[in-house]
Amino acid sequence: MCISSKRSEFIRFILVGGLNTVNYYLLYLLFRMVGLAYMFSHWIAFLISMAISFYLNVYFTYRVKPTFEKFLKFPLTQIVNIAVSSGCIYILVEYFHLNSTIAPIFSVLITFPITFILTSKILKREKVVL
């Protein structure tokens, strides 16, 4: 893949990531407002956003055909993301006493580049037919 095409993908990934981050954050705040614990709110908002992210990345970012197999594998791209973001949020809230409303924003800065690499590997991988 040429540099220009990779750059274009990354820009689309940033747009989708930005939209998905806003979506996640609004859901997170909604769940916090109804009284759910911050970590539970994080996980529920994350799972809903992950499903939306799959479709946005398939159709817009990578422009590949969505398949049930890719849909099932897509959460694998998020295992590192959820682990790192959960760890970051916990550390920021519990040890640095950062407000739980702000902590998720900082965790995104760390997880974003990792997620781009993992997502492109899963969604762009062609199925090998023997």
| pLDDT tens digits along 42-74 | 999 989 998 999 999 999 999 999 988 888 888
The pLDDT value recorded for residue 119 is 86
What's the pLDDT band for 4 if we cut at 50, 70, 90?
confident
**Positive or negative CA dihedral for 79, 85, 87, 89?**
negative
- Any idea where the domains of the chain sit in the sequence? 3-123
* pLDDT greater than 70 at residue 128: no
What's the pLDDT band for 126 if we cut at 50, 70, 90?
low
